Amino acid sequence: MAMSRLRRREALWFYVFVSPWVIGFLAFLLGPMISSIYFSMTDWDSFTPPKWVGLDNYTKLLTEDPVFWKALGNTLFYSAVSVPLGLLVGLWLANLLNKQVRARKLFRTLIYLPTLVPLVAASLAFRVVLAPSGPLNDVLGWVGIKGPQWLLDPSWVKYALILLSVWGAGSATVLLLAAMKGIPRELYEAAEIDGAGPVRQFWSITVPQLTPVIFFNLVMGLIAAFQVFSQVYILMPKASQPGTYNASQTMVPYLFDQAFSYYHMGYASAISWLLFAVILVFTLVAFRTTRRWVFYETEVK
Amino acid sequence: MATLAPTVAPPQGGQVGKDEEPPGGTTRVLGVFKATPFTYATLIIVSAVLSVPLVFAVSIALSTDHTVTTNGFTIFPSEFEWRNFTRVFDGDLPMGRFLVNSLIISLGSVIGQMVSSGLVGYAFARLRAPGKNVMFLVVIATMMIPTQITMIPQFILFKDLGWVNTYLPLIVPNFFSNAFNVFLVRQFVSRMPSELDEAAMVDGLGFFGIYRRIMLPMLWPVLIAIGIFTLTYNWGDFMGPLIYLNDESKMPLALGVQYITTTAVAGQPPPWNLVMVGSILLTLPMIAVYYLGQRYLYEMDISGGSAGVK
């Protein structure tokens, strides 16, 4: 079927208009992805020609690299704790702000402010806050707790990263608060007539109504948490703790180190594909389980 | 989890509730929405705790060099060395240079995304062409790919082009749009009435003319939202500059301020007071952008969509 002249001209303009995206997609995404698959099967320092090693990088990572497993474990722990915790805190704060509170705007601003601080500035601030004699350990000292060496003790670094992450719970708070405002008032009126208290109403109305928003933020949050980098890089500078560095390693900083400190480009490329695999698996699992706990209005009506 | 929803009947014909509303439009506060002293106590404590890092950062920024070397910081400012805020510009610290670099990289990226995402998003929303739907599926699919996959090959590409240690690897890719922004523009344009472009077509305006004369003036809200996202991302980006920029004179503030902490003389603490001044200079524009741009973000109904994902 021949297209009319106008339709052909329209199609031509379409291709012209989307050409920036097409060129970018080929040059900065598809091309690099294909090269990355190839790189991941080579031994390559980026200066001398790459040497084909097949799947060696992958087997080495999965069977003989304890640092990789450590990094993977730390990343999973960090993501599995920080993201749900951030959402829980966000839910709790949003529920408080959703009440008839005086000076609500002020509280909302103070809670949201940390999320406007660029990650680099926040990480630098936390380096001093979490210093052995910093304010957090001071406060812990007042109540008789001897604060840990947050950033030097490998078993505590994870919690330092989680603290920094929960400090930014304001973004979840604001999102959930906006969603709460959209919950029909009649639901609460009916529940009150039925004699349900505020706690019961929170768990039986507010939370189920918010599950789509919670789900979306859980998935996006997990994807972002797996890729944690700047915080780790800034909170534990390599030079200051060579001994504990590997013990508190996470995936992307490990990848970065392999690529740009040791020039193991092939090995680092293999790490990036394993990271992708982990993210993919978690996203799929999240979507697979949605029917069980995410409540969509349309299913009831 | 039990939900009450199935037992809630739709409002009955008589609308009993409505009639009982007191005049003046004020409705009775339901039990769940009543604030108790406990509500206030919690909010006050949480706000105070969340503010500690910010207050402490300001306190350090106002400390003297002596306090830095003796590690004698206090949570609340106890000395007011305002001089620190001018020192970072006229001393050995290239903070002014860092700021200029940040501006070049961020504004270059903003222009790139606004120009390219507008064109691409409009085309996906309005123009018809074979293969369009498949292409749009690819656009959506690319959002799934983590940047780490393309990080190394891109570095090799830019190294071969001789672009390492220039701003180009950080700015140029933005001129090729990105999936999220294209999606935003497409959604925005789809919601606009198509009579306008049809009328323009009848008047003999070409496709580019329609875009430039009819569409572009109406796209501003979404383009400004994209500008804010791009600015926020690039202003705060740490990993990109860390990979591509080696010269101190080329670093943006986000990298430069961290870099200062690594250059301290052995045995000496980093100049924390000046580092915190840098961190404050890094933060203030973001607060300003947020408050000036809020309106556009809410208008887009996407305010939180990506703002929280770092």
Cα separation, A129 vs A1, whole angstroms: 70
ipTM confidence: 0.91
Do the Cβ atoms of B147 and A227 come within 8 Å?
A: yes
Q: Are residues A21 and A167 in the same domain?
A: no
Residue A29 domain boundaries: 5-52
Dihedral, A56, A59, A63, A67 alpha carbons, nearest 10: 70
What tokens were used for B42? Answer: 């919690």
Q: Are residues A164 and A240 in the same domain?
A: yes
- Would you say residue A221 lies in a domain? yes
Q: Are residues A181 and A216 in the same domain?
A: yes
Q: Model pTM?
A: 0.89
Q: What is the pLDDT of residue B25?
A: 47
Do the Cβ atoms of B283 and A196 come within 8 Å?
A: no
Name which of A273, A258, A223 is nearest A62 in CA terms: A273
Do the Cβ atoms of A276 and B53 come within 8 Å?
A: no
Q: Which of B50, B157, B304 sits opposite A111 (nearest CB)?
A: B50
- Would you say residue A277 lies in a domain? yes
Q: Are residues A30 and A166 in the same domain?
A: no
Q: What is the pLDDT of residue B294?
A: 82
Burial class (CB in 10 A: 0-12, 13-18, 19+), A79: buried
Do the Cβ atoms of B31 and A198 come within 8 Å?
A: yes
In chain A, the number of structural domains is 2
Do the Cβ atoms of A96 and B43 come within 8 Å?
A: yes
Helices H, strands E: what count in chain B? 16, 0
* CA-based R_g, chain B, Å: 26
Interface check for A197 against chain B (CB to CB < 8 A): the answer is: yes
Interface check for B287 against chain A (CB to CB < 8 A): the answer is: yes
Q: Are residues A115 and A238 in the same domain?
A: yes
Residue type, B211: Y
Q: Are residues A95 and A128 in the same domain?
A: yes
Q: Are residues A48 and A70 in the same domain?
A: no
Q: What is the pLDDT of residue A242?
A: 57
Interface check for A295 against chain B (CB to CB < 8 A): the answer is: yes
Residue type, A228: V
Residue type, B10: P
Q: What is the pLDDT of residues A13-29, one digit of tens each?
A: 999 999 999 999 999 99
- Would you say residue A57 lies in a domain? no
Cα separation, A76 vs A279, whole angstroms: 10
Cα separation, B65 vs B81, whole angstroms: 9
Q: Which of A36, A171, A265 sits opposite B150 (nearest CB)?
A: A36
Q: Are residues A99 and A229 in the same domain?
A: yes
Size of interface A-B (CB pairs under 8 A): 302
Interface check for B43 against chain A (CB to CB < 8 A): the answer is: yes
Cα separation, B300 vs B191, whole angstroms: 12
Interface check for B24 against chain A (CB to CB < 8 A): the answer is: no
Q: Are residues A91 and A133 in the same domain?
A: yes
CB A120 within 8 A of CB B238: yes
What tokens were used for B175? Answer: 């001129």
| CATH number for region B94-307 | 1.10.3720.10
Q: Are residues A296 and A148 in the same domain?
A: yes
**Count of positions (residues) in chain B:** 310
Residue B267: helix, strand or coil by DSSP? coil
Q: What is the pLDDT of residues A74-115, one digit of tens each?
A: 999 999 999 999 999 999 999 999 999 999 999 999 999 999
Listed range (A31-35, A234-238, A259-263, B151-155) with the worst mean pLDDT: A234-238
Cα-Cα-Cα-Cα dihedral sign, residues B275, B281, B287, B290: negative
pLDDT interval class at A66 (50, 70, 90): very high
DSSP A99-124: S--TTHHHHHHHHHHHHHS-HHHHHH
Q: Which residues of chain B have pLDDT under 50?
A: 1-25, 302-310
Q: What is the pLDDT of residue A241?
A: 58
- A42 DSSP 8-state letter: E
Name which of B237, B234, B256 is nearest B247 in CA terms: B256
- B237 Cα to chain A: minimum distance (Å): 8
Q: What is the pLDDT of residue A4?
A: 86
Q: Are residues A245 and A136 in the same domain?
A: yes
Q: What is the CATH number of the domain that holds A196?
A: 1.10.3720.10
What is the phi/psi pair of residue A212, to 5°? -60, -40
- B165 Cα to chain A: minimum distance (Å): 14
Q: Where are the domains of chain B?
A: 49-82, 94-307
Q: Are residues A221 and A118 in the same domain?
A: yes
pLDDT interval class at A67 (50, 70, 90): very high
Do the Cβ atoms of A115 and B308 come within 8 Å?
A: yes
